[in-house]
């Protein structure tokens, strides 16, 4: 009976104990100063490469399905592999023996999740129109958060967010113009 290895790290999201071996086995991912379990890494950094912080996933290993960024994809006879699978594939091609299927990783074609932000932006923009301009400001701030998340490949873009932004920004600009005119008239 093998002894449970002593955890060296704890996932900051679920506190599960993790070891350096878990990182090597792809069960845990080191990101910045923390080590996350695979599930929480995927949740916190949905479209990021496991090896390269800040780099987005652009392909997947054609053997184990692991997501790869441009830096970690290795090509072999026209197919993209992770480093581990490339070595295994070379071994298979040389010896003709096919090793057992490597662990399957849970996977979706598109990592970007649907976000409730666009709906919120539109709701706040409309609230801004009918109740108080402050809601418009909140909608605009949320719009910039939304834009950043889309740029980072975390969430899916939505026309609703753009619509909300327009609904929020037009009355705000009008309000600013009115204030400027009022101030100018007062002076």
Can you read off the two tokens belonging to residue 106?
A: 């849970």
Name the segment binding Zn ion (CB under 5 A); options: 23-31, 71-79, 110-118, 142-150. 71-79
Element (H, E) at 185: helix 159-186
Rounded Cα gap, residues 184 and 170, in angstroms: 21
Residue among 52 and 147 whose Cβ is closer to Zn ion: 52
Verify binding: residue 24, Zn ion, rule CB under 5 A: no
Q: CA triplet 5, 11, 15: central angle to 5 degrees?
A: 80
Of the candidates 21, 43, 71, 75, which one interacts with Zn ion according to CB under 5 A? 71
Can you read off the two tokens belonging to residue 129?
A: 């129109």
Verify binding: residue 87, Zn ion, rule CB under 5 A: no
Of the candidates 18, 35, 47, 63, which one interacts with Zn ion according to CB under 5 A? 63
**What one-character-per-residue DSSP string does 148-176 give?**
HHHHTTSB---HHHHHHHHHHHHHHHHHH
- Residue 141 has φ and ψ, to the nearest 5°, of -60, -45
Verify binding: residue 85, Zn ion, rule CB under 5 A: yes
How many amino acids of this chain bind Zn ion (CB under 5 A)? Answer: 17
Report H helices in 115-158.
117-130, 133-151
Q: CB of 100: closest distance to Zn ion in angstroms?
A: 13
Verify binding: residue 66, Zn ion, rule CB under 5 A: yes
Verify binding: residue 73, Zn ion, rule CB under 5 A: no
Verify binding: residue 79, Zn ion, rule CB under 5 A: no
- List residues near Zn ion by CB under 5 A: 11, 13-14, 37, 40, 49, 51-52, 61, 63-64, 66, 69, 71-72, 82, 85
């Amino acid at each position: 009976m093998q002894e449970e290895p002593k955890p060296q790290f704890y996932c900051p999201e679920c506190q599960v104990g993790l070891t350096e071996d878990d990182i090597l086995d792809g069960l845990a991912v080191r990101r910045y100063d923390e080590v996350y379990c695979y599930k929480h890494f995927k949740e916190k950094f949905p479209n990021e490469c496991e090896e390269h912080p800040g780099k987005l996933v652009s392909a997947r290993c054609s053997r184990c399905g692991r997501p790869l960024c441009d830096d970690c994809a290795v090509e072999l006879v026209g197919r993209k592999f992770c480093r581990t699978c490339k070595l295994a594939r070379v071994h298979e091609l040389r010896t003709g023996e096919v090793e057992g299927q490597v662990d399957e990783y849970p996977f979706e074609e598109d990592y970007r999740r649907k976000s409730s932000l666009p709906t919120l932006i539109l709701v706040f923009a409309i609230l801004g129109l009918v109740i108080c301009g402050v809601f418009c400001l909140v909608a605009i701030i949320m719009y910039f958060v939304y834009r950043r998340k889309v740029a980072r490949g975390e969430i899916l873009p939505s026309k609703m967010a753009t619509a909300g932004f327009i609904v929020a920004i037009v009355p705000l600009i009008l309000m600013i113009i009115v204030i400027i005119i009022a101030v100018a008239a007062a002076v």
